[in-house]
Amino acid sequence: MRRMKKTVAIMLLSALIVLSVLPGLGLAAASGAPGAPLLYQSNWNNSPNYSIGFNMWWGNNGTAWKLYENNVVVHTGTLIDQSPNAQTASFAFTNKPSGTYVYKVELINSYGSSTSGTISYQVINASGGGDSQAPSVPGNLAASDITENSVKLSWNASTDNVGVTGYEVYQGGSLAATVAGTSYTATALTAGTAYTYTVKARDAAGNVSAASLPLVVTTLAVTPDTTAPSAPANLTASNVTSSSVSLEWAASTDDVGVTGYTVNYGSTSVSVSGTSTTIAGLASGTSYTFVVTAKDAAGNVSAASNSVVVTTLAVVPDTTAPSAPANLTASSVTSSSVALTWAASTDNVGVTGYTVSYGSTDVSVTGTSATISGLTPNTSYTFVVKAKDAAGNVSAASNAVTVLTETAPVNQDACRPEGLYDSGVEGVPYCSAYDTDGRELLPNGLDRRIIGYFTSWRTGDNGQLRYLASDIPWNKLSHINYAFAHIDSNNKVSVGSHSPNNASLGKTWPGVAGAEMDPSYSYQGHFNLLNKFKKQNPGVKTLISVGGWAETGGYFNDNGDRVANGGFYTMTTNADGSVNEAGIEAFSDSAVAFIRQYGFDGVDIDYEYPTSMKDAGNPHDWVFSTPRLAGLAKSYDVLMKTLRTKLDQASAEDGQYYMLTIASPSSGYLLRGMETFNSLKYLDYVNVMSYDLHGAWNEFVGPNAQLFDDGKDAELKAAGVYSTAEYGGIGYLNTDWAYHYMRGMMQAGRINIGVPYYTRGFQNVVGGTNGLWGTAKGTVCPTELKGKCGDGAVGIDNLWHDKNDSGHELGAGSNPMWHAKNLEFGIRGTYLGDYGLEAAPLTGTYTRHYDETLVAPWLWNSTKRVFISTEDEQSINAKADWAIENSIGGLMIWELAGDYGWDAGKSEYGVGYTMTNAMYNKFSNTTPYGNTNRTIAMPAEKFDASIEFTGFKLGDQNFPINPKIKLTNNSNTTITGGAVIEFDVPTSTNALFRSWNGDQVSVISTGHTGNNIGGLKGDFHRIAITVPGWKSIAPGASELFDLVYYLPISGPANVTITIDGVTYSLNP
């Protein structure tokens, strides 16, 4: 049986899918039906082997496609959606039978489908029965349009039984091209070269004719171009500067074409393509000759153009520095970086960049902002910015900005200064104000404090000096104390109402530069301006100072009348001498609310004075102080402890550390009535009022603020201080003595020494050396002084005077230092009329004197016998050096408005910054202040016991000073007989310590002996008290020991107890 075979078309069921993504476009999902597909076929010779495909050039993509053949689906495929990019796919057919086929494509996605148009494809003789006859040979192959690199070929058309579909052009034996027509242009040929060409015809069945007759064609040889371009014409120069010139010329012509030009000057050639250029890098003030030549592709060079001689401009040296960058601010502070911005500088030529400086580091930037990185966490940095120009001129520094970098959570107690009372409040942010050595983080590059008192009353209303927050040298200070707030009738901190006349809260100064109010605050006045400038100087702290001489026992209401409400005296102490707990609570709560409301960084208490000495402080307050003398010291201690605790609570709540400070007396007389000044431990620091040491309250003429004793103080002589053996020759009316007194309770760095920017003076002085240590007895004395007072200078020698209750001038020789300087140089200040002194004569000569031992300057007018104690740059420098040598925390200024500077426009001294600048120059980039009071290595093991100085006698009865030392055993262990208590006391008293009750008191070491002329030589004596061998102190029990000494001390410090041969630390 014969089997018949059937030829079956085998479809390759693999589809070739090609996806094309246009570069640079992102991919997204389709948002509608697919775009229309366009069909194509891969073969045009009726072959049974071909492909059908589609392109969708742009639009929503399909996710599938169907290929229809004669309306029947013959293939389906999936696609990737990369809308809106192009999409393509194809399907291959092999061994397709002869016939005609009609194709279309459907493109599909979830939104719908789109269908292409149709194409037809004819398969001829698919199974070997097709066309096998080749076309005829192309005839008359000919060449035309022959050039150096191309030739055009043409031939006669071939004939075919079915039809010619194209021609194959051969160059030599290689296929050069396939074309549909009867001509072809060959390109990219080599000049002067022979090429052989043949042509074959092809039909749809793939049959190929025999080759045509060969045609040899030789390309033309290249004719060398030896013709140079024409010379460039009309060369001209313009825009001549010190280093450049612009050139321009008319274009050259050439038989082929100009390819460029060469500018020549000296030995330099510059190639350019166009007919103009700018030549740079020339030397200033120099003559140059320029010519231009043209060149063509063959390298032919034209003759030179006309020459142009140009002399560059001479450079005028730029010596003008840019303006200082303004409004430097910091933001985005992290533990290691800070972002800085500033206002751009201006320059006569142009600013080229800026240098950000901090410490010894400089960072160059081009713009008006910078992020400084690599900083140390929890560190204070002071930044300034300078501008520079192309000539290297550098501007003055911008305002300084001090930034404290953030830190990871730390043990806040690690930053609490040694000896500062621990209130027990959790989370007090000490490290926002102190470093881990317990030193305060200070602004403006300072290593020591410069604290300035800014007073509320210098408003300019009376035509006299106006001194506002804009006048404060913010970039030279660390702290500003606002003087003063008072205690109102409800025992609350107040500065009065918000009335327009209230300088603190309501007053404005229209038209005064720098006094524009910040609208972001709900109040006006000094408080508005202080916060405005503090935003510009965020490292500078402001504190509200409460009290002062005039408002310790009363206050001035909105009408300027003094309300005698008792102030500090009645707020802290009841009439029977007991502590006024309710008053203290009300005051302390209000103090916290006040600083929160008005943006202050702490509270400064200026209570003058919580002493048991009779008739101390303002005579108007004696009616309140005298009945309460016995209780003032105790109630003051409660006040300070309560304030410390409440400020710590607020600090923990707000994440901002609030400070507590005081202004302390420096007089040994006043301090004798303040026991051992236990309340110092509650303070961040103390400001010692080491001025008003001599004044017209008595007849003894001496310096206002001498640094040292000289053994000649007339007041101390009259009191028998130098001649009384128990005093040991120590004079106590000087700054050095007051500083050493404070050391019993505080390390040097928590003590700031006061300096006055005002004078004290006497008239009608008798005796002394140029008035110093003479006497000036007053003839009309205030009733309270019981007929004994000094003769204070008046008139032109008393510019800043107070008035008595009758409105008459009080003689005090009180002047700002700028007025004292005018007196010194014989200048009648133009301001005298503002003080009612238009007609006051300038009589005699005010000769400046200076005592190196006292460190005290003064003016002496021998004609008027007037003595005026001054402060100036020389004494300030000496005091600053002394503060540095003794590791003292800094200096405090009363008051800022008294500083002096030369006013060239008026040819006189006026308000300035001479003394403050001197302090700043000393205290910036110096050694850190002292942060410890330790004189011995304290034992690590503590014994739970305490000692307290108690039982002080009242006022003048407290001499010799004879307290009891109370030792309380808080442990569970008995203190046995023979135990020894040791402690340090300051050298403000001599080393004479004894007991009148037979207790065993001994001096272990002596810090100073003899007089204190030129200063005390050491800081501490160490004292020991031994428990009698027959006595023991049981747990919970106390024992009193008698102690006698002769000058006031604070403390004690570094207390230890040795029991049975083992030494322990002890809380004082």
In a domain? residue 725: yes
Give the CATH number, domain containing residue 181.
2.60.40.10
Instruction: List, as one string, the DSSP characters of 962-1008.
Output: --EEEEEE-SSS-B-TT-EEEEEEETTS-S--B-SS--EEEEEE-S-
Pairing of strands 245-250, 233-238: antiparallel
First vs last C-alpha separation in the chain: 132
The separation between CA 980 and the C-alpha centre of its own chain, rounded to angstroms, equals 53
How many structural domains are present in the chain? Answer: 6
User: For residues 770 and 868, what is the distance between their CA atoms, to the nearest angstrom?
Assistant: 11
State the Cα–Cα distance between residues 421 and 1031, nearest whole angstrom.
Answer: 33
Residues 847, 920 within the same domain: yes
Residue 48's pLDDT band (boundaries 50, 70, 90)?
confident
Domain assignment of residue 1030, yes or no = yes
Tokens at 886, concatenated: 């003794």
Neighbours of 627 (CB within 10 A): 15
Using CA atoms, how far apart are residues 1049 and 1046, in angstroms rounded to an integer? 9
Residue 419 or residue 28, greater confidence:
419
Give the distance from CA 172 to its chain's centroid. 82
What is the band of 409 on the pLDDT scale with cuts at 50, 70, 90? low
Question: 46: which residues sit within 8 A by CB, 6+ positions away?
Answer: 122, 123, 124, 130, 204, 205
pLDDT higher than threshold 50 for residue 14? no
- Judge if 296 and 362 occupy the same domain: no
Among the candidates 933, 964, 985, a domain finishes at 933
Return d(Cα 972, Cα 925) in angstroms, integer: 51
Q: Which two tokens stand for residue 375?
A: 């900083």
Answer whether residue 24 shows pLDDT above 90: no
Nearest CA to 480 out of 596, 601, 390 is that of 601
SS3 state at 640: helix
Report residue 968 CA to chain centroid gap: 50
Report yes or no on 413 lying in a domain. no
Give me Rg for the CA atoms of the chain. Answer: 50
- Give the tens place of pLDDT for each residue, 783-805: 777 778 999 999 999 999 998 88
Tens digits of residue pLDDT in 366-380: 999 999 999 999 999
For 1060, the 3-state DSSP assignment is coil
Over range 82-93, report the average pLDDT.
Answer: 89
Q: Report the interhelical angle of 629-654 vs 581-598 (nearest 10°).
A: 40
Whether pLDDT at 611 is above 80 = yes
The per-residue pLDDT for range 446-503, each reduced to its tens digit, is: 999 999 999 999 999 989 999 999 999 999 999 999 999 999 999 999 999 999 999 9
DSSP state of 301: B
pLDDT at 382: 97
CA-angle at 146, arms to 142 and 148, nearest 5°:
145
CA proximity to 402, closest of 543, 600, 540: 540
**One domain, residues 856 and 1001:** no
Complete DSSP assignment for 442-492: -STTBSSEEEEEEES--BSTTSS-B--GGGS-GGG-SEEEEEEEEE-TTS-
Largest CA distance in the chain: 165
Question: Do 172 and 237 sit in the same domain of this protein?
Answer: no
> Tell me, what amino acid is at 436?
T
Among 175, 195, 218, which residue terminates a domain? 218
Q: What is the pLDDT of residues 624-647, one digit of tens each?
A: 999 999 999 999 999 999 999 999
What pLDDT score was predicted for residue 9? 29
Give a yes or no: residue 654 inside a domain.
Answer: no
Confirm if 659 and 433 have CB atoms less than 8 A apart. yes
Q: Are 990 and 1047 in contact (CB under 8 A)?
A: yes
Contact 918, 881 (CB under 8 A): no
Read off the pLDDT band of 316 (50, 70, 90): confident
By residue count, the chain amounts to: 1068
Kindly state whether residues 785 and 926 are assigned to the same domain.
Answer: yes
CB neighbours of residue 310 within 10 Å: 18
> Is 1061 found in the same domain as 1004?
yes
User: Average pLDDT, stretch 418-423?
Assistant: 97
Task: Show Cβ contacts of residue 71 under 8 Å, excluding neighbours closer than 6 positions.
Answer: 102
Distance CA 707, CA 851 (A): 10
- 174-179 and 183-186 beta bridge pairing: unpaired
Rounded CA separation 107/571 (Å): 94
Q: Are residues 281 and 342 in the same domain?
A: no
Q: Are 295 and 303 in contact (CB under 8 A)?
A: no
Token pair 């310790």 is found at 552
pLDDT given at position 787:
77
| pLDDT classification of 677: cutoffs 50, 70, 90 | very high
Which token pair is 458? 């210098």
Q: What is the pLDDT of residues 489-546, one digit of tens each?
A: 999 999 999 999 999 999 999 999 999 999 999 999 999 999 999 999 999 999 999 9
Report if residue 8 sits inside a domain: no
Judge whether residue 15 has pLDDT over 60: no
Gap between the Cα atoms of 948 and 953, Å rounded: 15
% of the chain at pLDDT higher than 70: 96
- Looking at residues 828-856, what average pLDDT do you find? 97
Is the domain of 58 the same as that of 90? yes
**529's tokens:** 């301006």
The pair of three-digit structure tokens given for residue 329, joined into one six-digit string: 């601010």
Rounded to whole angstroms, the Cα distance separating 843 from 864 reads 7
| Contact call for residues 418 and 346 (beta carbons, < 8 A) | no
What is the pLDDT confidence band of residue 67, given thresholds at 50, 70 and 90? very high
Q: Is the pLDDT score of 3 beyond 50?
A: no
CATH number at residue 1008: 2.60.40.290
Phi, psi at 525, each rounded to 5°: 70, -165
Task: Let me know if residue 673 belongs to a domain.
Answer: no
Query: Tokens in use for 171?
Result: 């160059």
**Across the strands, what pairs with 269?**
264
Residues 392 and 265 in one domain: no
Give the pLDDT mean for 585-601: 98
State whether 108 and 245 are in the same domain: no
Query: Is 188 inside any structural domain?
Result: yes
Q: Are 1016 and 736 contacting, i.e. CB atoms less than 8 angstroms apart?
A: yes
293 CB-near residues (< 8 Å, 6+ apart): 231, 232, 261, 262, 264, 301, 302, 303, 304, 305
Residue ending a domain, choose from 408, 423, 441: 408
Buried (b) or exposed (e) across 255-279, using 16+ Cβ within 10 A?
eeebeebbbbbeeeeeeeeebebeb
Residue 899 CB neighbours (<10 A): 25
pLDDT of 4 above 50: no
At 14, list the tokens: 């693999």
Residue 2: pLDDT over 60:
no
Domain region containing 723 = 690-736+758-894+914-933
Q: Which residue did the predictor score with more confidence, 733 or 81?
A: 733
- Helix (H) or strand (E) run with residue 848 in it: strand 847-851
In the prediction, which pLDDT does 5 show?
30
Asked if residue 240 is part of any domain, the answer here is yes
Q: Which amino acid is at 60?
A: N
pLDDT band, very low/low/confident/very high, at 95 (cuts 50, 70, 90): confident
The string of pLDDT tens digits covering residues 215-273 is 999 999 988 889 999 999 999 999 999 999 999 999 999 999 999 999 999 999 999 99
| CA separation for the pair 721, 738 (Å, rounded) | 16
849 and 727 in a single domain? The answer is yes
d(CA 511, CA 529): 14
Stretch 769-795: mean pLDDT: 91
Looking up tokens 């020894």 gives 980
Looking at residue 130, its pLDDT comes to 60
Specify the pLDDT at position 20.
30
pLDDT value of position 31: 86
| Residues 1001 and 924 occupy one common structural domain | no
> What SS3 class is residue 715?
helix
* C-alpha torsion 875→878→884→886, nearest 10: -100
pLDDT at 1050 over 80: yes
Count CA atoms closer than 13 A to 467's CA, side-chain side.
24
> What pLDDT is attached to residue 38?
86
The residue written with tokens 């396939």 in the block is 178
Least confident of 35-49, 103-117, 476-490, 987-1001: 35-49
Q: How distant, in Å, are the alpha carbons of 476, 480, 881, 896 from that of 914?
A: 11, 18, 16, 11
